[in-house]
Amino acid sequence: MKKLNLVVFSAILMSGLVFGQNEPKAMEIAPDVYLANLSHENPGIVESTIINVMILKLYQPEKDFEKISKKLDELTLESADESTRFKAFVAASYIKYGQDFNWIKKDLFERGEDLHENFYARMQEMYDDLKKSPETYLSASDEPAKK
């Protein structure tokens, strides 16, 4: 229970700090905290973390997202929850192919409803293709993702 509380507290703390970016140390450990939260058993924490990963990528694109990208690939292919798979696919695509998402602006994340309506709607077609043929989905290293 103590570990669960720490993870939840970390998720809340980090999500607030991503916007402010006033704590360099917190920003330094954010990818590690997010990676741990992506393995959480609570789908709500996982999905919230997926959004926070995207926000971090938008605000700090120079960070190393390789481990997070691999975890998102894993969630895309193996999560029992379809909503989580979809959101992981969207985030993984954004992390790997950010240049193709130049329509994403910082204010998009500040208006939560627009994020869901605009961003996820654009990705639905790609996700539908993934469901039809998962072997075509490439990992960050451009090798077929392993199941």
Say which residue, 123 or 113, is predicted with more confidence. 123
Residues 30-73 have pLDDT tens digits of 899 999 999 999 998 999 899 889 888 988 889 999 999 999 99
Distance of CA 16 to the CA centre of its chain: 16
pTM surpassing 0.75?
no
Q: What average pLDDT does the structure give for the chain?
A: 76
How confident is residue 7, by pLDDT bands cut at 50, 70 and 90? low
21 in the Ramachandran plot: left (φ > 0), alpha (ψ -120 to 50) or beta?
left
Distances, alpha carbon 78 to alpha carbons 22, 29, 34, 85, in Å: 36, 26, 18, 8
Tell which residue, 68, 75, 65, 69, has the closest CA to residue 41.
75
